[in-house]
Amino acid sequence: MTWLITGGAGYIGAHVARSMAGAGEEVVVLDDLSAAVPERLPAGVPLVEGSTLDGARLREVCAQYGVTGVVHLAARKQVAESVADPTRYYRENVGGLATLLDAMTGAGVKRLLFSSSAAVYGNPDVDLITEDTPCAPVNPYGETKLAGEWLVRAAGRAHGISTVCLRYFNVAGAAAPELADTGVFNIVPMVFDRLTRDEAPRIFGDDYPTPDGTCVRDYIHVADLAEAHLAAARRLAEGTRPGDLTLNIGRGEGVSVRELITVIGEVTGDRRAPVVEARRPGDAPRAVGSAERAARELGWRARRDVREMVRSAWEGWRLHHRR
Ligand SMILES: NC(=O)c1ccc[n+]([C@@H]2O[C@H](COP(=O)([O-])OP(=O)(O)OC[C@H]3O[C@@H](n4cnc5c(N)ncnc54)[C@H](O)[C@@H]3O)[C@@H](O)[C@H]2O)c1
């Protein structure tokens, strides 16, 4: 197998490239460099500059490298931006996927792993979200991920492509400091950002119906997530018949915002008390995914805990901010 990893110079993609290449898989990365840090890629992994919106470029890469499977991570991922500019999100996330699927079909590529998100569920009122929990995304970003899943399955059925959709929960941490997330869109870097500015971390709402009143989430270490991709890619490679699989990728354990901030205080040594502000519209009280189907289907379970996520993310944050 030769795997094309789209968006492979991004935060998660570089971890996936490193994990797959490290396990002996042939990989090539395509990235438009719009949100990439190319230095994240391990030595020996080719990086092709190109967009998933460019069908000719995709066909060229598939032919040149003899691509036999695709791990598709390239996407825009900011919820607020998707609310402000939904057409861009549909064009790039759904349109880019359609162009990729056409190129794969033309090149006879029969295996696809798609980066989906827990955002497809919206705000379900359940203790544990399973893959059968109804999907009702509450923003255009989540909608593009759900539409992407539909498209992946429909194209899979039409063209005999085996597919896996991985619905990631809240991704954090780094396998090495230089691979860390450089964006400030998720809670862990947002708290680091506040502390670095000498400001108290913020909690948006402490009157939710949860044990300590703050929102509860399911955090997953990016290194565990990368290992899930390797396991899914290997399962796709072994499969003799086309089929589709949709899996939650999380730890199945809830951690509240207040608990997370306490761990961040312990790791960074900056234990200042958080300030409580008003709830943000659209935040669900609790979003924790069942990890059982992934364990059953892939023989994979997350191994790293929240403290390890925070510790490794903090090392990466300090490296980037020294620079
Ligand atoms: N980070 C999270 O918490 C999270 C959670 C759920 C799902 N996801 C999904 O995981 C994937 C990767 O996320 P990330 O956090 O690594 O984001 P990221 O922005 O760090 O990486 C995305 C990469 O894709 C590239 N890219 C974007 N549009 C492209 C295009 N049209 N053609 C080619 N390359 C393109 C960017 O340059 C970047 O390198 C995305 O699909 C995202 O929606 C992320």
Q: Could you report the per-residue pLDDT of 194-223, keeping only the tens digit for each?
A: 999 999 999 999 999 999 999 999 999 999
The correct answer on CATH 3.90.25.10 for the domain covering 173-217+251-322 is yes
Average pLDDT over residues 169-176: 98
Report which protein residue has its CA nearest ligand 1's atom 25: 7
pTM to 2 decimals?
A: 0.97
141 given a catalytic annotation? yes
pLDDT in tens, 41-79: 999 999 999 999 999 999 999 999 999 999 999 999 999
- Which residues belong to CATH 3.40.50.720 in the chain? 2-171+220-249
- Which residues belong to CATH 3.90.25.10 in the chain? 173-217+251-322
Out of 57, 58, 73, 129, mutate this one to test ligand 1's pocket (max ligand atoms within 8 Å of CB): namely 73
Mean pLDDT of the residues in the chain: 97
The correct answer on CATH 3.40.50.720 for the domain covering 2-171+220-249 is yes
Q: Is 109 exposed, middle or buried (0-12, 13-18, 19+ CB in 10 A)?
A: buried
Pocket of ligand 1 (CB under 6 A): 6-7, 9-13, 31-36, 51-53, 73-75, 77, 92, 96, 115, 117, 168, 171, 186
Residue 275 CA to residue 217 CA, distance in Å, equals 19
| Whole-number Cα distances in Å, 237 to 43, 77, 80, 156, 234 | 24, 28, 37, 15, 5
Of 89, 121, 141, 219, the active-site residue reads 141
pLDDT in tens, 217-255: 999 999 999 999 999 999 999 987 778 999 999 999 999
Please report the pLDDT score of residue 239 as a whole number. 83
